[in-house]
Structure 1
């Protein structure tokens, strides 16, 4: 009987070993999306619930989230005339002689309604705080909404933790009563309570009775603020006439709110359409983040043409576009576009090619050798020689052709840096006089010409709102804005349909005038990027060093082994966005929310090198990278609910793409953890999402044969230690193994089967030995 029992047990173990080895575990990787909604519960002295993310439940209330977070049995309510009121949370509630109560906040602002009446919105952070209503609030803000004679002044709201003016308006007015447009990191109101922006009317934003210089989402509330949102109509102020105006003296006819609104709408229009070189220049000067698609297209355009273009203006506009992207046109995709300009055929396209050759060379003060075919002196002489003597203007083709305002404006923009030269100054004076006559005689009759004139005047330091460029109480800036449509774009000569050409020229015009107002000089003054990659380190100090990709992705403009990400830049990025960094061969896509959670100071991100001995030991198909992030000298090891996506470039790989797998290796190369891997054969990238940083690389999964290893073989298999709770890495991986790679690596399924077969084989040997021993005893 005992013998039969032993044989049954051994048979079961053998069958279990073989069958279990064929079962494939399912990956449990977390999705790499950032959850914005959070809940916090703060008692009188203790935090009862640390900030915790939750999935927004469609149509659910803040009370539903509270109950879901701590259980209904831990929430005590009382019926009042205003509805159910929360009086206790986790047993914390006031006694009869106490003046405490549970206050409910949305995005840091005291809610005007109770938790059961508040329906959650995307991105809401809700908080319940046990406070004494007899103690005055440290921070209070007031909101007023004005529409003509109708005024709504809301009850003062207490707040904490730097909410924005938009948080205040959205909460008190009600998200359902707002129509807004998101623009970059900011938001602008289109309609309140059904009253929509139309024609020359819009919703203006005031802070303490002063017109705001940012949008609602760009202003953090301060104690005592009076926030006003007011429905207004664009109307330029008409100044009183003065007999003491000097030549070019500016008249106060530009309404700042009107102009800022026009610039904002134009920004939105330009970014909503394809961005090319001319649009990129204006966006850069407006302080906007360029789309990553623009940069990719720029690289493709130059590399596909192998740096050779048929028109000189191609080199010139690409030079400006490359500078706008923060790159050097002297070495872009391996080509020197500046040399192609000063040694090119600049007169092939008339004065257009000559003027923009000078503009491009001066944009970043590029050096031009004395041996160049076209020095700056040659270009200036060519422009001066082509000026018409009769009216002081220029023509596109030849000196004998009639002057036109577009060509004159273009040439004046090119000559502006040389106004200190006597001959140039005379030519500029005559050219400006010609433009003045053109405007005063109503011969400037379209948006593109008006914008070109404004660009030239701004480069020369002349106010386009001056009396010389004002006719019938309308200056040329206001005239340009009459061509702007509701979508923010411009039409050429009147109408309601914006077109691409008129829109980018019109946009350049208002950006140029903004630069003039700010004292920043010419639209085309685009210096070389000041931040260089030094010793493999790139410091990101401004959003101008980022490109904006799709789906709220921001790409750092340079490649480096180490990135220092400034606190200011990280705080300025949307919480739900991703930041992409690359060392040229490997990219890391990091949730901005993860970085912001540790942004007490600058954050350093490193693509660290591994030792040569480890490289030799592990035959990886990609670089082996030791990824680290530090803040204040401390490594950021806890990613919480966030995942970082690592993408390895395997452009030179010629093997079996289906065999590729990303593994986590320890510093000794003794343990290997398989990550859920995505292979894109088209882009030749291999990617995986990870929950903490260490050493990662791409390997081939190779199964030559299955056999039991011995001490002399290279592959050593160790069992996995069981843990009570899964780690982030276990959530992001199929299984966990500990292997040492020496040129061949086994996939997790093969390793599991290998282990179990080995165990089964050993058990069979034990069983067979036991049977033999029992037979011998029986026969003896």
Structure 2
């Protein structure tokens, strides 16, 4: 009897422990990390408008596979129709991919690494690192000229080529083609999630922590090379971090005159104390100074340079300048020509901001509801927090109504951003990347209308404190990816702070130089004004000594935001009508992941991310594309709205298993007890 009792106890304890283990495991997702493909390539297909038919996808290449083999395999896997009859003599001929209506005189063309193929799709054997693009195109092929340069740690140019790439090709294609023309090897790997990652260029010797960062037109590129579609005149620059003249990146021991390091020298030579000249106080900022600078920018710089982008149109509308009819007419034509279709959600967001600032209803512009294109966008998070933040800003700019069944309601957007805040208080552009001043400031602007909620206000306060701690003693924010202290970052911070009611000239954002004898105090507005040039524009970096268009646009927006702050006007400069809808994100839910369309992890720059690459960060960046909401961050399997593979343990299945084990355990106990009683 005693043995039976012990047996029963053993069985009971064993079943309880087993059940507990399964329950714990069921609530612990088992993540599977993406990895570089041993022999990989990327493939995509777009129509004549550049809209994806086959989303950008990383694929494993089998030996001897042709471009047609890969296309057939992927379209079958993704259930995309492929009309490609086989000719007995010439092989397969691609009539159509998907259900695209081909314009007259256009057909499907294959581009390989930025160049139109000289053989049929079944005549090209795919190689590791290849980029395959099928696109609807006419003849002659449209091309764009892109300059590609690569600079090593000592400033030596390894690449400096201007290439003509097939229109619709990626930034990665441009780099590959530049390497081919210069006979310089571009060593790249294809990642199952993050697409192309540049390992090295030429025979450059890399340190353990060295990697190739990417700038676009002087701006830190907050997106992956595989996802960015270059425009004619673009400059893609890959750069390694600088080192000292000897190339060691390490400081030398001071010379004591006896061959010993200073701490070992019997008579160490004293290091001379610096004797810097005291710096003068920065010019005080007055309303008159701000107003005069705004007028100078608008009346001189932008009158000369015109409107080159939507955010400049927004700024000039706020100033009160009437937009030229040509701008609106060109915008109408562009939208009609594109049939209202844009690749990135930020394209819609910038246009909506531009139209709303001009009192034009973006819900009905040349027959298109551009607002709906935002709140029902399948690619909302492909550009990371950038796209989500600017979605809120654009939707709130005209207090546009969002249906309750929208993919992205205001509640969902706010909740998503709250969930993405990092422990430090800042936000990054992409998952697994470091905080970005630009992205954090932008999100402050987005959350400003909702700061009456305690959880939102708490997130804002934490972010403001983090930004203040990151401000350097010169009043700005130095970042190696921006090339240094960029005026656009300071401008973005001013816009964000004023939106949430924080004074950018207050004590929290006024710094004193740590240099002895210096008495210079400088705040954010004073620092921004140091970038002003004689022509009325603003420089990207102080060392540039010339105006930059994007920097000037951002400076104008920042000064307008500060002008509103001084006049005790509206909070965000992007709100052109007051919100009348209440958006509440329950505090108890703010720590849970948003239950909206699954977020895609964007690629950050070309920076290594744990177990993968890239995005980088956008984004969130010097003349940061994030600042305008125009960085194009894109993910692998999630690109074009395609779901990422489910790499976590299925919670439901494990719970069911646990329940089954509990039932079996109970049955065993009952059976054992009855048997012992009968005995």
TM bin (shorter chain): 0.3 to 0.5
Higher relative contact order by CA 8 Å / sep ≥ 6: 1 or 2? 2
Q: Which has the larger radius of gyration?
A: 1
- Using the size of structure 1 for normalisation, the TM-score is 0.35
- Using the size of structure 2 for normalisation, the TM-score is 0.40
